[in-house]
Amino acid sequence: MTVRLDALRAEYLAGLRTFLEHGDEAALTYAYELGRRALNDGLGLLDMAAIHRAALDALVLGVALDERQRFMEAVTAFFNELLAPFEMSIEGYRAALTASEERFELAVRGATAGLWDWRPQTDEVYFSPHFKRIMGYEDDELPNERQALLNAIHPDDFGRVTEALQTHLERRTTYDVEYRVRTKAGEFRWVQSRGQALWRDAGEAYRMVGWIVDITDRKRDEEALRVSREELRRLSAHIQHIREEEKARIARELHDDLGQQLTALKMAASLLEYQGNEVPSSTPPTDALNGMYALIDQLLDSVRRIAADLHPAMLDDLGLIPAIDALIDEFSARYRMRVVRHIDVHAITFNRECRIEVFRMVQEALTNVARHSGATEVVFEMVRDDPHCIVRIADNGRGAAHNDRPGRHSFGLLGMRERAALLGGEIRISTSPGSGFALTAILPLTAVEARDELSELSESSKPARSATSRRDD
């Protein structure tokens, strides 16, 4: 810098001398050129004043008294040329600043967002007119003071807002919070507030600018949607519950009532046979009687099967795992499919309430395997993985293109999700065409595990054949 300044000082002095001797335009152009170079080199106006002062010192003594006036006018003209580039650049800067300020002004006035601008060190704050309007105030009704806003934030949201602000200033995390503000009328409105601070090199924030938008309507819609979803879920759970109860009742009646009557019919028929032996003339043909017995047996079988399909009595009598075991046995035999079982029998004692839900999930998953997969092998897992119970049914079939949105008529998976949600859990599916279909139910143990001894007793009667981990071919 000093070298450049020294060179410039010498050049300026020489240029000024030439100008004083010849007074021509070219010398003035030279002064302008020197000024432009100085500006480009990052020199300032004070440097220019020093250069000029040095030139005056060097020249002024040689000027006759009566020449002084003309001399001063000439050097001032020369100096003005040196300064011209600086002046122009300041002008340009001013124009750009004005344009930018106008743009900001327009943006603030036209914005649907309410803008705020805060200096953390002095706590000076600016709220745009629209900011105040969101809070129900005219521009002159709410002071540009941070406390005015802090007083209006809902007490339940206050901690969250200040914490978000603090972490933004300290750790530069995104500042994006939703909170309620009390309006002039006294009601609360939801706003979303976003902002961005500017930091000095030392790390402290010196300014933060942001905006708020009124999201009250969105919040209201979200809440209405949440409530309606909740109601639908409760309704669906209620319908499922009634359906299961109804099925269980019909199953019981079929089994007990119809079953008993059929047994009675069989006894009556055999009585007929016995009496017939005493009166040989009216003996009914044995073939006909045998046919009747067979028919009654078939009927009894059908009744038992239909009853079991409606509601597996085993579920109530023996518990979840024996019922699932029997279900898998039947599935494996009916569809000639190998099922590999990993059942952590002693790891979980299931409560009564969850039995039907878990059983139906497994039943639907197996039905899907039979219906859609074309698989040759299924792996069934039921394990404890604190704090969850994991039930997994995976086949080696054709799989499916993964689609998060189930089809309009696919109620199987939807039902499973509902049942899982009812227990506070979820269903995850992992599949792709050609690589099998794996369905996992992740259920919180708190919802499926028995808490009191009574349910434990009812579940403890597990069949001896369930090993901790077993392969069935």
Ligand X SMILES: Nc1ncnc2c1ncn2[C@@H]1O[C@H](COP(=O)(O)OP(=O)(O)O)[C@@H](O)[C@H]1O
**Cβ(358)–Cβ(393) below 8 Å:** no
Which residues in the 175-234 window bind Mg ion by CB under 5 A? none
**Cβ(31)–Cβ(81) below 8 Å:** yes
- List Cα–Cα distances, 141 to 116, 129, 233, 412, in angstroms: 16, 10, 47, 60
Min. distance of Cβ 259 from ligand X in angstroms?
32
Min. distance of Cβ 128 from ligand X in angstroms?
52
Structure tokens at 274: 């016995």
Which residues in the 337-376 window bind ligand X by CB under 6 A? 368-369, 371-373
Q: Which does 399 bind (CB under 5 to 8 A by kind): ligand X, Mg ion, none?
A: ligand X
For tokens 């045998």, name the residue.
290
d(CA 178, CA 191): 6
Options 102-110, 182-190, 383-391, 393-401: segment touching ligand X (CB under 6 A): 393-401
396 is a contact residue toward ligand X (CB under 6 A): no
Closest by Cα among 169, 173, 161 to 207: 169
438 is a contact residue toward ligand X (CB under 6 A): no
Options 10-18, 102-110, 405-413, 440-448: segment touching ligand X (CB under 6 A): 405-413
410 is a contact residue toward ligand X (CB under 6 A): yes
368 is a contact residue toward Mg ion (CB under 5 A): yes
Options 82-90, 256-264, 397-405, 455-463: segment touching ligand X (CB under 6 A): 397-405
Min. distance of Cβ 395 from ligand X in angstroms?
5
- List Cα–Cα distances, 63 to 14, 80, 331, 421, in angstroms: 16, 21, 120, 101
Q: Which does 182 bind (CB under 5 to 8 A by kind): Mg ion, ligand X, none?
A: none
CB nearer to ligand X: pick between 183 and 430: 430
424 is a contact residue toward ligand X (CB under 6 A): no
415 is a contact residue toward Mg ion (CB under 5 A): no
* Length of the chain in terms of residues written: 473
Residue nearest to Mg ion (CB): 412
Options 37-45, 286-294, 404-412, 442-450: segment touching ligand X (CB under 6 A): 404-412
CB nearer to ligand X: pick between 56 and 413: 413
What is the arrangement of strands in the sheet containing 124-127, beginning at the earlier edge strand? 124-127, 114-119, 205-214, 188-199, 175-182
Query: CA dihedral in degrees (337, 342, 348, 349; nearest 10)?
Result: 40
Interface with ligand X (CB under 6 A), residue from 250, 345, 413, 445: 413
DSSP label of 281 = G
**Which contiguous run of DSSP H or E holds residue 76?**
helix 68-110
444 is a contact residue toward ligand X (CB under 6 A): no
CB nearer to ligand X: pick between 198 and 401: 401
Interface with ligand X (CB under 6 A), residue from 237, 292, 400, 421: 400
Pairing type for strands 377-385 and 338-343 reads parallel
412 is a contact residue toward Mg ion (CB under 5 A): yes
CA within 13 Å, CB half, 442: 8
CB nearer to ligand X: pick between 278 and 404: 404
**Cβ(152)–Cβ(184) below 8 Å:** no
d(CA 270, CA 256): 21
For tokens 């900001």, name the residue.
104
Min. distance of Cβ 415 from Mg ion in angstroms?
9
CA within 13 Å, CB half, 448: 34
Interface with Mg ion by CB under 5 A: which residues? 368, 412
Interface with ligand X by CB under 6 A: which residues? 368-369, 371-373, 395, 397-400, 406, 410-413, 437
